[in-house]
Amino acid sequence: MNNITNDIYYIGVNDHELDLFEGQYDVPNGMAYNSYIILDEKIAVCDTVDGNFTDQWLGNISEVLGDRKPDYIIVHHMEPDHSANLKNFLDKYPETVVVGNAKTFTMIDNFFEDMNIANKLEVKEGDKLSLGKHELTFVFAPMVHWPEVMFSYDSTDKVLFSADAFGKFGALDVEEDWACEARRYYFGIVGKYGMQVQAVLKKAAALDIKMICALHGPILKENLDYYLGLYNTWSGYGVESEGVFIAYTSVYGNTKKAAELLKDKLEAKGCPKVAIADLAREDMAESVEDAFRYGKLVIATTTYNADIFPFMKHFILDLTERNYQNKTIGIIENGSWAPMAAKVVKGMFEKSKNITWTDTTVSIKSAFKAANIEQIDALAEELMK
Ligand SMILES: [Fe+2]
Ligand SMILES: [Fe+2]
């Protein structure tokens, strides 16, 4: 049995079969759906797991509980990767009290047609639930990243159950860096809701937290300031790493050549980090996280159908719908007969807050020529300021 404190047990599962998380995110190292049991005078189960793991999860519960029955099932988040087994759970343990807020219960009705909840406890922000030795306080986290999301805080073990916040891609039986996959997860899934994350971080700051138990990814128990600090930077749309991210699309390699020359020039000038990605070939969510990570972004793209190349369009929409802001952006455009890319790109960021455009826009007509080198020099110089 897998206990993480004297009374709290891990009963989650690892998924290595999944092709795309939430229908769009590549998860090369799989995914973990976390679930927990607090064993006290009263027993609380925190969340269920994905619908493909019913038997394994119910088995994990039996292994911890033996013949005892859970008193509460706490629903921190209704997205199906966590709630899919609610009905299966209640079929097995029909007396268990379902704990959620008003929005949770509306969503249960939306997701399940014939759910028969015998006992429910509707909680409000700040409500407490005593299990005996442990007392849980409910901390609402609306729109992090769904409206019904709530955290709970166990003041006995000083554990924060944080729903999807502080989660990451990757199963728990694979060792990998936390920040890279947590950042890709954060900006992909939660990125739009920075303001709401900031609000819940303020509430969390008032709590004495020794451990964070998220619904995905490892349990965080050391150096919590590191994780809280990153969440503060990410949700504040701040600069995490000094450097430049160059995102490009290229049809015949001319735009690529320009993007790579800019990278070389920035590095020669001592730029602390230059990340570069071919948007047609690299993971889009990885490029999205890099755009948010660095303070400076260069967009290098072709004019295409009097618009811009489709992968770049997709990329920019991913940024703007996630409230991309507070960054410096430079453009390298390429167009053979009527270059439009710079104009289209600027238009796409029109509603974004606090974007600084570089004075230099590199404009290539078809092939990359000697005259463009000067422009690239000027752009590199500006980005180094
Ligand atoms: Fe979620
Ligand atoms: Fe989730």
Q: What is the CATH number of the domain that holds 314?
A: 3.40.50.360
Q: How far is the CA of 353 from the centre of ligand 1 (A)?
A: 26
**Of residues 258, 273, 222, 265, the one with CA closest to residue 362:** 258
Q: How far is the CA of 76 from the centre of ligand 2 (A)?
A: 10
Give average pLDDT by consecutive 10-residue segment, the chain, 385 residues: 93 97 97 98 98 98 97 98 98 97 97 93 98 98 98 98 98 97 98 98 98 98 97 98 97 94 98 98 98 98 92 98 98 88 96 98 89 95 96
Q: How far is the CA of 146 from the centre of ligand 2 (A)?
A: 10
Nearest-10 crossing angle of helices 194-205, 224-235: 150
Q: Return the CATH number at 230.
A: 3.60.15.10
Neighbours of ion ligand 1 (CB under 5 A): 79, 164
* Same domain for 291 and 229: no
Among the bound ligands, the one closest to the CA of 79: 1
* Same domain for 231 and 329: no
Q: What's the CA dihedral at 82, 32, 127, 104 to 10 degrees?
A: -20
* Same domain for 245 and 230: no
pLDDT at 1 (0 to 100): 67
**Of residues 73, 149, 144, the one with CA closest to residue 104:** 149
* Same domain for 295 and 216: no
For 74, the token pair is: 């706490």
List Cα–Cα distances, 159 to 36, 135, 238, in angstroms: 12, 11, 27
Q: How far is the CA of 152 from the centre of ligand 2 (A)?
A: 16
* Same domain for 301 and 181: no
Among the bound ligands, the one closest to the CA of 214: 2
pLDDT at 337 (0 to 100): 82
* Same domain for 364 and 300: yes
Instruction: Tell me if 356 sits within 8 A of 327, measured CB to CB.
Output: yes
* Same domain for 338 and 246: yes
- The residue from 207, 235, 263 where one domain ends is 235
Q: How far is the CA of 384 from the centre of ligand 2 (A)?
A: 39
* Same domain for 268 and 203: no
pLDDT at 246 (0 to 100): 98
* Same domain for 115 and 28: yes
Rounded Cα distance, 63 and 1, in Å: 7
* Same domain for 29 and 173: yes
Q: Provide the number of structural domains found in the chain.
A: 2
- The residue from 235, 257, 282 where one domain ends is 235
Rounded Cα distance, 216 and 199, in Å: 21
For 236, the token pair is: 């504040």
Among the bound ligands, the one closest to the CA of 215: 2
Rounded Cα distance, 108 and 102, in Å: 10
Q: How far is the CA of 203 from the centre of ligand 1 (A)?
A: 20
Q: How far is the CA of 75 from the centre of ligand 1 (A)?
A: 12
User: How many residues are recorded in the chain?
Assistant: 385
φ, ψ at 381 (rounded to 5°): -60, -45
- The residue from 188, 219, 235 where one domain ends is 235
* Same domain for 286 and 221: no
pLDDT at 185 (0 to 100): 98
Q: How far is the CA of 202 from the centre of ligand 1 (A)?
A: 21
Q: How far is the CA of 164 from the centre of ligand 2 (A)?
A: 5
Residue whose tokens read 């805080």: 153
Q: What's the CA dihedral at 255, 259, 264, 266 to 10 degrees?
A: 140
* Same domain for 196 and 254: no
User: Residue 158 sits in which domain range?
Assistant: 2-235
List Cα–Cα distances, 270 to 263, 267, 327, 372, in angstroms: 11, 5, 20, 21
For 152, the token pair is: 């709970």
**Of residues 354, 277, 287, the one with CA closest to residue 315:** 287
Instruction: Tell me if 356 sits within 8 A of 324, measured CB to CB.
Output: no
pLDDT at 116 (0 to 100): 86
Rounded Cα distance, 295 and 286, in Å: 16
pLDDT at 89 (0 to 100): 98
